[in-house]
Structure 1
Amino acid sequence: MLGTSAAVRPLSQADLDDTVALLGRDPCVDVFVGSRVHASGLAPSRLAGELWGYYEENRLLSLCYSGANLVPVAASARAARTFADLAVRRGRRCSSIVGPADAVLSMWDLIRPEWGPAREVRSCQPVMAIDAAPAVPADPLVRAVRPDEVDVLLPAAVAMFTEEVGVSPTGTDGGVYYKARLAELVRAGRAFARFEDGEIVFKAEIGAVTPHACQVQGVWVRPDRRGERLSVGGMAAVVEHALREIAPAVTLYVNDFNTAARGAYRRVGFTEVGRFATIMF
């Protein structure tokens, strides 16, 4: 139970300034929630979820985004317990819990008896960032994907998602929503690929964007071309473009067991700035 000095409530547009200030404390870690807040201004119709604020002595100390994902921000042990209790009372509406590892794993310890076993728990995912020119040359063949190339990008994106998450993103609608989201990124100039003979051999997208940082997602190399360091030059190209056109820092998070990817990102110049965990349902 909350003490008399602590409270949790949904945030509204009236809380925008305090919310932005809190997100600014660790902008390379809290990119996803920051992007939601930046894009929506906390207007309910554009937030695509709900943002909970945890207060002590009337000061906003922690956040938790509740939508397709459940994402804590700057959550102390006490805030994590509070968010977990609220999530249990609301019932599971998300496909994953993802964010800073300590908070996510603390929340999961409390939520697990009510929500049942997870499909997978990834307890250690380094968060990496870069805010300077890449340490290696960019691949000159990596470029932005054009709107008329979405149908070429889609199979690579589905393959990456299925390999990474363990389920297909096509879902019950045959992939209509997933393709629409991919097309949105392409139109925004945030999908990149290296094409050879009309096929994609490397690709990555920039998903979340704030004024302070952006987050790379969906990094993929065609299986028969792995080991050629396409991801090194490819990521250098993505970083160069992102730093020039999108945000002053580029971030991503990666599974700790993916030693090849972590090595590639380090060669590009990424350094570790935090640890995430993901609970997948």
Structure 2
Amino acid sequence: MLRTFRPPATLRAEDLDAARRLVASDPIANVFVGARMAAAGSYATQNIIAMTEGPTLRSMCWTSANVVPIGVHESELDGYAARLRRHRRRSSSVFGLATQVLPLWERLEKHWGRPRSVRHAQPLMAATVDDLNDAVGADPRVRPAVLDELDLVVPAAAHMFTGEIGYPPYYGSDREYRRMVAALIRQGHTYVIVEGGRVIFKADIGSLAFGVGQIQGVWVEPALRGHGIAAPAMKAVAQQVLADHAGTVSLYVNDFNTAAIRTYDRVGFKQHDTFATVIL
């Protein structure tokens, strides 16, 4: 039988369930896209380009402010790159499994221009209740932030973002950024230690889908780093996420951040795969 491949195109409505199944095939790696597809509902098709073989969905890319390839085979990379060239102005990053992101970026770079940064190897780590290290005590001060603490959380969140990405999360008015931080707090997805009227530790659930809660925005006040706060605080975050939101907790971290990797290892996180991120 002749095999017919369709070039990458906007996801058809009839393929939405197949896209969900593809994303759910690796819930730890694909939780970001899973969460955003769930939030968008049927409108998720507007942010997905996919390749099909006859009636079968082969692979896809999430294409909003973040480009995330899922299930993209080497033979499909040129097709996705050709379609994605027009998305440069609306994208701030390309991220996902390194085996897909890095070869896709090789094809996009000459069209999209020099990136701010390429994080080639980011361990994608995960843990369940059984993985957590009993030898690490959970910090009892860690708790969900409340909306009255928004003015305390926003500076910590902005400081973390700027240090990680290399530019601030907003210029001029912070209205939209405050709205985003407030939304996380309202959902119970921001965890903090507050002492002396300031946040000294913060972490967020950035994505929640398929029974996986992905942690992002982990931050310790710079003056207190190296004082043994991170591991007990992360143990407490992991315990609370696992108790209240998900059966698995995950995160990814830059390979050069050896202190953070040691912390997550101590808590009980294990490497699931390797991510890469291109920051534009």
Task: String of CA shifts for 1:108-142, please: whole Å, max 9, x gaps.
Answer: 11111111111111111110001225212211000
SS in 1 for 2:90: coil
Per the alignment, residue 220 of structure 1 pairs with 219
Per the alignment, residue 157 of structure 1 pairs with 157
SS in 1 for 2:28: coil
User: Following the alignment from structure 2 to structure 1, what is the Cα–Cα distance between the partners of residues 75 and 66?
Assistant: 21
Amino acid at match of 2:38: H
User: Following the alignment from structure 1 to structure 2, what is the Cα–Cα distance between the partners of residues 155 and 180?
Assistant: 13
Per the alignment, residue 184 of structure 2 pairs with 185
User: Following the alignment from structure 1 to structure 2, what is the Cα–Cα distance between the partners of residues 268 and 21?
Assistant: 31
2:94 counterpart (97, 100, 103): 97
1:127 counterpart (124, 128, 136): 124
Per the alignment, residue 238 of structure 2 pairs with 239
User: Following the alignment from structure 1 to structure 2, what is the Cα–Cα distance between the partners of residues 222 and 158?
Assistant: 12
User: Following the alignment from structure 1 to structure 2, what is the Cα–Cα distance between the partners of residues 16 and 103?
Assistant: 22
Matched, 1:263 2:262: yes
User: Following the alignment from structure 1 to structure 2, what is the Cα–Cα distance between the partners of residues 130 and 274?
Assistant: 13
For the 8 Å contact 1:84–1:110, the answer to whether it is kept is yes
Residue range with higher mean Cα deviation, 11-20 or 111-120: 11-20
Q: CA RMSD in A?
A: 1.6
Amino acid at match of 2:153: L
Per the alignment, residue 7 of structure 1 pairs with 7
Task: String of CA shifts for 1:216-266, please: whole Å, max 9, x gaps.
Answer: 000000111111221111111111111111111111110000000001001
User: Following the alignment from structure 2 to structure 1, what is the Cα–Cα distance between the partners of residues 208 and 84?
Assistant: 26
The Cα of 1:92 is off from its aligned counterpart by 3.6
Relative to structure 1, the CA distance from residue 155 to residue 90 in structure 2 (aligned partners, 3 Å threshold; closer, same or farther) is closer
Per the alignment, residue 209 of structure 2 pairs with 210
Matched, 1:108 2:102: no
For the 8 Å contact 1:125–1:254, the answer to whether it is kept is yes
Gaps of 5+ in 2: none
The Cα of 1:16 is off from its aligned counterpart by 2.6
Task: Map 1:21-100; keep pairs closer than 5 Å.
Answer: 21-44=21-44, 50-100=47-97
Amino acid at match of 1:160: M
Matched, 1:176 2:162: no
User: Following the alignment from structure 2 to structure 1, what is the Cα–Cα distance between the partners of residues 12 and 112?
Assistant: 28
* TM superposition score normalised by structure 1: 0.93
The Cα of 1:91 is off from its aligned counterpart by 4.3
Task: String of CA shifts for 1:160-189, please: whole Å, max 9, x gaps.
Answer: 011111000013x52221111110000000
User: Following the alignment from structure 1 to structure 2, what is the Cα–Cα distance between the partners of residues 223 and 108?
Assistant: 33
- Matched-pair identity in %: 39
User: Following the alignment from structure 2 to structure 1, what is the Cα–Cα distance between the partners of residues 94 and 255?
Assistant: 17
Aligned residues: 275
Amino acid at match of 2:148: D
For the 8 Å contact 2:93–2:277, the answer to whether it is kept is yes
Relative to structure 1, the CA distance from residue 155 to residue 89 in structure 2 (aligned partners, 3 Å threshold; closer, same or farther) is closer
The Cα of 1:25 is off from its aligned counterpart by 1.1
Amino acid at match of 1:34: G
Residue range with higher mean Cα deviation, 14-23 or 183-192: 14-23
Task: String of CA shifts for 1:136-156, please: whole Å, max 9, x gaps.
Answer: 221100000001101100111
Amino acid at match of 2:49: W
